[in-house]
Amino acid sequence: MDISITNEGTTSIARLMGEIDANTARSIADSVIPLASEPGHIIIDMSGVTVMSSSGLRLLLTLYREVDSNDSEQNIVLCGLSDSIQDTMNVTGFLNFFQVYNSVEDALSALGN
Amino acid sequence: MQNRIDVYPTHTYGDYKLRKGHAVPFGASVVSGGVNFSIYSRHATSCSVVLFERGAEDPFIEIPFFKEFRIGNVFMMIVFGLDTENIEYGFRMDGPFDPVEGHRFDKEKILLDPYASVITGRDKWLDDPKWDNIFPYRGLIVPNDFDWEDDQPLNTPIEDLVIYEMHVRSFTKDDSAEVTHPGTFAGIIEKIPYLKKLGINCVELMPIFEFDEYEHSRPNPETGELLVNYWGYSTLGFFAPKAGYAATGALGMQSDELKNLVKELHKNGIEVILDVVYNHTAEGNELGPTISFRGIDNKTYYMLTPEGYYWNFSGTGNTLNCNNPIVRNMVLHSLRYWAEYYHIDGFRFDLASILGRDPNGYPLHNPPLLETLAFDPILAKCKLIAEAWDAGGLYQVGSFPAYGRWAEWNGKYRDDVRDWLRGSTTVGALSQRLQGSPDTYPERGPTASINFITCHDGFTLNDLVSYNEKHNFANGEDNNDGGNDNHSWNHGWEGPTDDSEINALRQRQIKNGLALMMVSRGVPMILMGDEVARTKNGNNNTYCHDNYLNWFDWTLTDNNDDMLRFAQHIIAFRHAHPVLRGKEHFRNEDYMGTGYADITWHGTEPWQADWSEQSKAIAFMLDGKHAKEGSVIDDSIYIAINTHYEGLWFGIPQLPVDAFWHVSTNTGVEAPNDIYTIGTEPPLSNQEGILVGPRSIVILVGR
């Protein structure tokens, strides 16, 4: 699992590449959770994610809860979900917590507004 | 907070570090650094945990429970460093093989954990299994956390429920359902708008515990199609939802998917009752497979004869030894687990009389299991519904050990109302059923009575009025299976006909059945598809069919839209009128001082019911100010029921000076005038009486 973090203005973009499962969830959390204490929104770019397990679903929800527990206007959104991962997240209810966009560009313009 | 001091390994076995574990919870649970495995067996002489990589044919290790890894009759150990998402587990036990003493240990078998919360092996419905799999049903270790947000069990009063009995796969499998994931929990979510519009507020799901659809499967002798274990009344594990009912079953996420379904149903005001089968297991008798219980502690889990054979009060080969203290606890743990972790609102117990038998099969006067369930603190607000009979001769409708909590499938309601529809019972019997069966439940009240005419067993409502006999040849048992006592009537022709009068009469009778259920005190339950007059072609036992005989045909919602509109209306009518939904029995007196008793009976003359054996007409009036024991004010309601083959004039009781009778429902009239939307009912032009057509029901509201 590769994680790269870039910035666009105050918005952080965390690009995940590979599998999100029990083994990789911790390192993702370690990289992304600190972003919740910085100002600015967070975009999780999932376009490189190939597999998502039960732990993966829970990792994403944990990230959401970290952001949600701040009193700020900060949002965390997802983009680039494959059809099958989006479907899995939908039927298990985990998708309900997130705004979802097709691409980083779409997410940036939505958050810019 | 400091780390606990009991989380460090103390033993080694091969590459694995171990420690004596915790006795509870039973099963496999994630603890700090490892997995705790715990299992009961009184008579095993040794036990080991068998671990496989996900999808592997053979185990990668078997770790024995060291002698010190025990307490009492429980084996327990923590195994450190496991990649829990990538393993499957089971147990291997050795012990005596001495059937007369009740022991059938087999150390060649790897055994499924009775407490497994997720089971793999049938991940996709009717997927090609490896028939030579050395361990066909395996436990997985899956997180049981879920974000319910503010979801709670709904605690809808039972008297306000309208229950819809549904089979998960049947509901959306047909192409006509047009859902993304046919035949699954996810599929049901897409049809929630339909359920809301229908107006039901509770779904009763036929068995969703993991089962093997291939069990007893065989080709249909006529068509060659595979007949399977379709309904699922044969449990592999009491803590695991069926993977094959989940769109995400192949990913092992059936638990999350089912929880999400419950959450969505609750958001839409719909309760969830599970049909649960604690009376037997999938292992059958001594000729059946050893999957779990038989190899773990046969003598504990099964009711055995003195010779060591299996008592068969379930008719399926074995009987779970429910009042044995270990088994009793397993049943309790299972129910608590579904109530707490899946937010389930209630349970319907298949062949529940078995739950009142002792280990030798004798009916108990005060069965510990039933008492335990009735008083358990976690289950205290769950609905408990008993199918109050079994296949061993016990019939306890009216006498099931209830402890003030249990409700029952009222078989008398089913039979008397069916007989009324075909003109072969008395107004006396019908009047008891309409009132919540005070003759059967004098102390327990009408909420003990689940009022149903049809369920998965037997005819659909349409077939009840279209067939005199069962037609089960498609089941491949020479039409010998299925009940013969159907109390049905074909109205002049067996099966489909072009005769428009017969067809009109059948439709009317279906509406009559629906109407009677909705105006009866007690708790109505309707069968999936009866609202669109679904047919099974006269087959009254479709337990083995994975096809159109069981699948809901969604084109019927268009083709039979008149029936659907009627069903929506009559269900909405029940919800709109609390006077229909009393919790206590009628007192037959005017305790609110309105000038009318809470219920009064009438015939073709007001105030004069004809109670004779030949009487084919009866009417009753519910005084609106006595609604809910006088705690709310409702319209008054008058219901005239004519089962004669000719129309009859019913003189109607007079209302107070400022109130008038309005027509709500008239099954004797063709759609669209068979129903009037609530609130727009036209006043009756002649307030003195009304002509009720042959075999018809008229409902008036007085305001």
Nearest CA in chain B to A93: B260
Nearest CA in chain B to A53: B251
Mean pLDDT for B293-309 is 97
Q: What is the DSSP letter of B200?
A: -
Name the 3-class secondary structure at B61: strand
Q: Whose CA is closest to B390, among B353, B349, B347, B348?
A: B353
pLDDT of residue B614: 95
Distance CA B230, CA B546 (A): 6
Confidence of residue B308 (pLDDT cuts 50, 70, 90): very high
Residue given tokens 């819809």 in the structure block: B164
Name the 3-class secondary structure at A78: strand
Amino acid of residue B428: G
Question: Strand pairing of B599-602 and B617-622?
Answer: antiparallel
pLDDT of residue A72: 85
Interface of B with A (CB under 8 A): 83-85, 142-143, 145-147, 180-181, 184-186, 189, 246-248, 251-253, 256-257, 259-260, 263-264
- B623 catalytic? Reply is no
Residue among B387, B390, B598, B623 flagged as catalytic: B387
B402: buried, middle or exposed (CB in 10 Å: 19+, 13-18, 0-12)? buried
- Decide if the complex's ipTM is over 0.90: yes
Q: Between vectors from CA B268 to CA B262 and to CA B272, what angle results, nearest 5°?
A: 35
Confidence of residue A70 (pLDDT cuts 50, 70, 90): confident
Contacts of B251 in chain A (CB under 8 A): 53-54, 88
Mean pLDDT for B35-62 is 97
Mean pLDDT for B520-544 is 98
Q: Whose CA is closest to B666, among B685, B635, B639, B688?
A: B639
Q: What is the DSSP letter of A63?
A: H
Distance CA B529, CA B550 (A): 10
Q: Write the pLDDT tens digit of every residue in B336-390.
A: 999 999 999 999 999 999 999 999 999 999 999 999 999 999 999 999 999 999 9
Q: Do A88 and B189 touch (CB under 8 A)?
A: no
pLDDT of residue B7: 87
Residue A95 has pLDDT above 80, yes or no: yes
Residue B622 has pLDDT above 90, yes or no: yes
A84 CB within 8 Å of a chain B CB: no
Contact present, B259 and B233 (Cβ < 8 Å): no
Peptide bond before residue B672 is cis, with ω within 30 degrees of 0: yes
- Kind and range of the H or E run holding A62: helix A54-68
Residue B576 has pLDDT above 70, yes or no: yes
Mean pLDDT for B228-245 is 98
Report how far apart the first and last C-alpha atoms of chain B are (Å, whole number): 66
**Alpha-helical segments (H) within B386-535:** 411-421, 427-434, 461-464, 500-519
Q: Write the pLDDT tens digit of every residue in B644-696.
A: 999 999 999 999 999 999 999 999 999 999 999 999 999 999 999 999 999 99
Q: Do B147 and A97 touch (CB under 8 A)?
A: yes
Distance CA B509, CA B346 (A): 31
Q: Do B185 and A91 touch (CB under 8 A)?
A: yes
Residue among B88, B204, B297, B350 flagged as catalytic: B350
Name, in order, each residue with C-beta under 8 angstroms of A92's C-beta and a sequence gap of 6 or more: A57, B248, B253, B256, B257, B260
- The first and second tokens of residue B224, run together, are 């060659």
Contact present, B552 and B534 (Cβ < 8 Å): yes
Name, in order, each residue with C-beta under 8 angstroms of B267's C-beta and a sequence gap of 6 or more: B151
Mean pLDDT for B139-149 is 96
Q: What is the DSSP letter of A33?
A: G
Distance CA B513, CA B519 (A): 10
B479: buried, middle or exposed (CB in 10 Å: 19+, 13-18, 0-12)? middle
- The first and second tokens of residue B548, run together, are 């159109």
Burial call B321-336: b when 16+ CB within 10 Å, e when fewer: bbbbeebbebbbbbbb
Q: Say which range, A102-111, B217-226, B278-287, has the weakest mean pLDDT.
A: B217-226
pLDDT of residue B703: 95
CA distance B190 to chain A (A): 10
Q: Between vectors from CA B95 to CA B47 and to CA B310, what angle results, nearest 5°?
A: 115
pLDDT of residue A112: 84
pLDDT of residue B6: 87
pLDDT of residue B1: 62
Distance CA B140, CA B255 (A): 11
Name, in order, each residue with C-beta under 8 angstroms of A107's C-beta and a sequence gap of 6 or more: A43, A77, A79, A99, A101
Q: Write the pLDDT tens digit of every residue in B430-474.
A: 999 999 999 999 999 999 999 999 999 999 999 999 999 999 999
Residue A113 has pLDDT above 90, yes or no: no
C-alpha count within 13 angstroms, C-beta hemisphere, residue B697: 26
A24 CB within 8 Å of a chain B CB: no
Residue B553 has pLDDT above 90, yes or no: yes
Contacts of B248 in chain A (CB under 8 A): 88, 91-92
How much is the pTM? 0.97
Burial call B375-393: b when 16+ CB within 10 Å, e when fewer: ebeebeebbbbbbbbbbbe
Of B7 and B65, the structure prediction assigns the larger pLDDT to B65
Q: Do A88 and B248 touch (CB under 8 A)?
A: yes
Of A72 and B523, the structure prediction assigns the larger pLDDT to B523
pLDDT of residue A39: 87
Q: Do B143 and A54 touch (CB under 8 A)?
A: yes
Of A53, A55, A92, the CB nearest to B260: A92
Contacts of A23 in chain B (CB under 8 A): 83, 85
Confidence of residue B210 (pLDDT cuts 50, 70, 90): very high
Distance CA B453, CA B486 (A): 11
Q: Do A21 and B264 touch (CB under 8 A)?
A: no
Distance CA B132, CA B58 (A): 12
pLDDT of residue B222: 81
User: DSSP string spanning B372-415?
Assistant: HHHH-STTTTSEEEE--B-TTS-B-TTTS--TTT-EEE-HHHHH
% residues pLDDT > 70 (chain A) = 99
Name, in order, each residue with C-beta under 8 angstroms of A76's C-beta and a sequence gap of 6 or more: A36, A41, A42, A43, A44, A63, A64, A67, A98
Distance CA A96, CA A89 (A): 8
pLDDT of residue B4: 85
Contact present, B581 and B622 (Cβ < 8 Å): no
Q: Please provide the average confidence, as pLDDT, over all residues in chain B.
A: 97
Q: Do B85 and A57 touch (CB under 8 A)?
A: no
Peptide bond before residue B25 is cis, with ω within 30 degrees of 0: yes
Q: What distance lies between CA B183 and its chain's CA centroid? A: 18
Mean pLDDT for B42-60 is 97
DSSP E strands, B193-240: 202-205, 218-219, 226-227
- B307 catalytic? Reply is no
CA distance B83 to chain A (A): 8
Mean pLDDT for B503-514 is 98
